[in-house]
Amino acid sequence: MTGRLSQATLGAVPGAYRPAVDPQDRHAGIVHLGIGAFHRAHQAYYTEECGDWGICGVTQRSSAVADQLGPQDGLYTLLVREGTEARPRVLGAVREVLFAGDDPLAVASRIADPAVSVVTLTVSEKGYRHDPATRRLRLDDPEILADLGGRPARTVIGQLVAGLAARAATGAGPVNVVCCDNLPDNGPTVRGLVRAYAAAYDQALTAWIDANAAFPATMVDRIVPAATDADRSEAASLIGLEDQGTVVAEPFTQWVIEDSFAAPRPAWEKAGAQLVSSVAPYEKVKLRLLNGAHSALAYLGGLAGHQFIAEAVADDAFASFAHSLMTRDAAVTVDAPTGMETGPYADSVLRRFRNPALKHTTRQVSMDGSQKLPQRLLGTVAGRLAAGAMPAWAGLAVAGWMRHVWTQRTETGEPFTVNDPLAGVFAARLSGADAPAAVVDALLGVREIFGPLADSPEFRSLLTDHLSRLSRDGARAAVLAACA
Ligand code: CS2
């Protein structure tokens, strides 16, 4: 190994693994908020493949990505793993990384650069500070209030609106705001959050936003587990240089984007993105089938002691449960895109989950359940109940989440911490609840998650049955019973 990956050492990387476009010839026309592993394996990969656009990535909560990529001039390896195969590619689309914590004003001024015409976002569901059930901005959130009070913005929506305000003030021109998080109706949802914040910030700005900013909806799909030391050393031995920014992904990738833009953008379709007039059918199938099954496996498989998603689906009991959840509950509630069949889609999802090279932990997918449940499982529950049917599999998945939040330990006795912005609310509501019916009552009452579903007696009793069985017999027996 001859040193660390950077522009100066790039020549040492085997030709087949090097970027097609010299990174120095790229221009940063995109500002990306939330430059984690997912962005680097997904949107940055599409941008890499389709021309000479470059990205200024913003890291929000910690300087880690800036510390990894800064000394590497933004370069990093995308390691695509399938079984025993690992294919490296050094990507050069990221041209700059800013840590918002160091200089909060810099984010708005980068967004206001007239050379920038696209802002993309992957800040995770909780980064939007909205109420997951209603998708409205929480105007009483202390951080939102502090931003509105005039400090340099620290919330994502505050930074975005400050950037749009600076564009409006300087005549920097129209912009595309492209949300790439797994939120339902993500484009319109983010437009709503931006407008709500802007209305409280500067009423005149909302008219500028309406006339100058597009918020296309997108569906994003690629499994990107957190990279491990083993991944980093494998990438290093393949490219011949140390790389602290390695990201790992499965071979599959999909990006469906609503063809509705207000300003120039990369020709992502040249790299395989699908531009469509309506994203909703793709998004519903993906959130309710793939992500719904993912969360179900994370909670139920995690309770049964499985550390990885691939390990959970290697057990037929969990695999057939996930399949039934997708095909017998979720699929019945969605109108799939023309030409797509949900049965083969569910098969392909399970094949992807089985990829043993992906060390995707049930713990990682379990995170932030309060922000994920509505679009992944509760839409299915509501759809089934409205049709007069019982959401047997989705109900068990929600009960699995309840048991996860309630006991905070696996059935093998391993304790864990509930990683969720509403963890404090759960703890307060659960105090004194010591039996399934009381736990269901306590957690169903979290309106931010369940909304009007809390009032459904059928759902309440389904959850109580499932949670009782989970408590009595364990997750594996419960999934077997659900599939019997
Ligand atoms: C996962 C997703 O962490 C999670 O909650 O369900 O990140 C999932 O891997 C992606 O949405 C796949 O596209």
Summarize pLDDT for 351-410 with one digit per residue, the tens: 999 999 999 999 999 999 999 999 999 999 999 999 999 999 999 999 999 999 999 999
Instruction: Specify which residues 221 forms β-bridges with.
Output: 254
Q: How far is the CA of 285 from the centre of ligand 1 (A)?
A: 14
List the residue whose alpha carbon is closest to atom 1 of ligand 1: 365
pLDDT of residue 104: 81
Q: What are phi and psi of 134, to 5 degrees?
A: -105, -15
List the residue whose alpha carbon is closest to atom 9 of ligand 1: 223
Q: Is the pLDDT of residue 270 over 90?
A: yes
Residue-wise pLDDT for 300-311, tens only, equals 999 999 999 999
List the residue whose alpha carbon is closest to atom 10 of ligand 1: 223
List the residue whose alpha carbon is closest to atom 8 of ligand 1: 223
Q: Is the pLDDT of residue 415 over 90?
A: yes
41 pocket-lining for ligand 1 (C-beta < 6 Å): no
pLDDT of residue 163: 98
Q: Report d(CA 156, CA 123) in Å as an integer.
A: 8
Q: Report d(CA 183, CA 215) in Å as an integer.
A: 13
Atom of ligand 1 nearest to the CA of 368: 5
Q: Is the pLDDT of residue 180 over 80?
A: yes
Q: Which CATH class is domain 280-483?
A: mainly alpha
Instruction: Specify which residues 87 forms β-bridges with.
Output: 80
pLDDT of residue 441: 98
Q: What are phi and psi of 420, to 5 degrees?
A: -160, 140
Average the pLDDT over 15-22 and give the result.
96
Which residues touch 388 (CB under 8 Å, ≥6 apart)?
none
Percentage, residues of the chain above pLDDT 70? 100
List the residue whose alpha carbon is closest to atom 4 of ligand 1: 365
Q: How far is the CA of 2 from the centre of ligand 1 (A)?
A: 35
pLDDT of residue 484: 80
Q: How far is the CA of 223 from the centre of ligand 1 (A)?
A: 6
59 pocket-lining for ligand 1 (C-beta < 6 Å): no
Q: Which of 217, 339, 225 is closest to 284 using CA atoms?
A: 217
The answer to whether residues 354 and 294 touch, using CB atoms and an 8 Å cutoff, is: no
pLDDT of residue 61: 87
List the residue whose alpha carbon is closest to atom 11 of ligand 1: 221
Average the pLDDT over 219-242 and give the result.
97
Atom of ligand 1 nearest to the CA of 360: 9
Q: Is 218 helix (H, G, I), strand (E, B) or coil?
A: strand
CATH of 10-276, picked from 1.10.645.10, 3.40.50.720, 3.20.20.70, 3.40.50.300, is 3.40.50.720
Residue-wise pLDDT for 272-290, tens only, equals 999 999 999 999 999 999 9
Pair type for strands 247-249 and 76-82: parallel
365 pocket-lining for ligand 1 (C-beta < 6 Å): yes
Mutate to test the pocket of ligand 1, among 294, 364, 401 (most ligand atoms within 8 A of CB): 294
The overall pTM is greater than 0.85 = yes
288 pocket-lining for ligand 1 (C-beta < 6 Å): no
DSSP secondary structure string for all residues of 22-78: -GGG-EEEEEEE---HHHHHTHHHHHHHTSSEEEEEEE-S-SHHHHHHGGGTT-EEE
Q: What mean pLDDT, rounded, does the chain reach? A: 97
Domain ranges of the chain: 10-276, 280-483
Atom of ligand 1 nearest to the CA of 38: 7
Q: Is the pLDDT of residue 2 over 80?
A: no
Mutate to test the pocket of ligand 1, among 46, 220, 223, 362 (most ligand atoms within 8 A of CB): 223
pLDDT of residue 1: 60
291 pocket-lining for ligand 1 (C-beta < 6 Å): yes
pLDDT of residue 483: 84
Joined tokens for residue 206: 């909302």
List the residue whose alpha carbon is closest to atom 6 of ligand 1: 291
Q: How far is the CA of 284 from the centre of ligand 1 (A)?
A: 14
Q: How far is the CA of 371 from the centre of ligand 1 (A)?
A: 13
pLDDT of residue 266: 98
Atom of ligand 1 nearest to the CA of 221: 13
223 pocket-lining for ligand 1 (C-beta < 6 Å): yes
Q: Report d(CA 347, CA 168) in Å as an integer.
A: 48
Q: What sections of 280-378 are H helices per DSSP?
A: 280-285, 292-296, 302-303, 309-313, 316-324, 342-354, 362-366, 369-373
pLDDT of residue 396: 98
Q: Is the pLDDT of residue 44 over 80?
A: yes
Q: How far is the CA of 225 from the centre of ligand 1 (A)?
A: 9
Average the pLDDT over 11-27 and give the result.
97
Residue-wise pLDDT for 103-129, tens only, equals 889 999 999 999 999 999 999 999 999
Mutate to test the pocket of ligand 1, among 123, 182, 252 (most ligand atoms within 8 A of CB): 182
Average the pLDDT over 209-220 and give the result.
98
Give the DSSP letter of residue 361. Answer: B
List the residue whose alpha carbon is closest to atom 5 of ligand 1: 365
List the residue whose alpha carbon is closest to atom 13 of ligand 1: 221
Atom of ligand 1 nearest to the CA of 376: 6
Question: Residue 277, Cβ neighbours under 10 Å: how many?
Answer: 7
Q: CA 40 → CA 247, 290, 480, distances in Å?
A: 7, 21, 38
130 pocket-lining for ligand 1 (C-beta < 6 Å): no
294 pocket-lining for ligand 1 (C-beta < 6 Å): yes
